[in-house]
Amino acid sequence: MNDQTFSLQPFFSTESLPNLKIAGNIARSANQLTITYALLGNLKEVIIGTQSDLPTRRHQLWEDTCFEFFLGIKDSERYWEFNLSPTENWNVYRFDGYRQGMQEEIAFTTLPFSVHHQSDSLALALNVDLDRIVTPTQALEIAIASVIKLRNGEVTYWALTHQGTEADFHRRDSFIVML
């Protein structure tokens, strides 16, 4: 099993960010991928949303607080974007190359994950079988990110690394976790 912890960094902001921290763990065993996120700090400043009675696939989750990861196959332009909302809604998109050929990934009809919300923390955990999109022997390159929407209207962008002059989670040079 390949298991790594991570801590996300905010992209440059002109506003004073509330005292927040985003950390987690990602692991791959055979073709099971497990990722956990923990959002810690003054969550009164964060728009979390209300958990859905019936979690479903939704578009544009990144416009609100959303936890994301991008999974690419080493030496291939193709990659997938996984969006996990604290409302328990989700989506997965497939790309042929950098921001090219975006399609909803129909290999996934559900994406069960858990969300636990307390006054000073939000935890999200996903365990997904990747057999539908990659083989267990393919080396993966992964970018981990989050969009955090604040009550003051500001949207903040968090990632393992920010390689450009603008927040851009799709840049392949930010896929720095190797599994």
Residue 16: its pLDDT value, please?
Answer: 63
Q: Total structural domains in the chain? A: 1
Catalogue the E-assigned strands of the chain.
2-10, 20-29, 32-41, 66-73, 79-84, 90-95, 103-104, 113-118, 121-129, 140-149, 155-159, 177-178
* Structural domain of 58: 2-178
pLDDT tens, 7-45? 999 997 656 677 899 999 999 999 999 999 999 998 999
Residue 105 has pLDDT above 60, yes or no: yes
Specify the DSSP class assigned to residue 109.
S
Q: Of 41-45, 57-61, 125-129, which gets the smallest average pLDDT? A: 41-45
Q: What is the pTM of this model?
A: 0.95
CA atoms within 13 A on the CB side of 12: 5
Residue 25 pairs in a beta bridge with: 5, 36
What sign results for the dihedral spanned by CA atoms 167, 52, 39, 102?
negative
CATH number, position 35: 2.60.40.1190
CA distance 135 to 123: 29
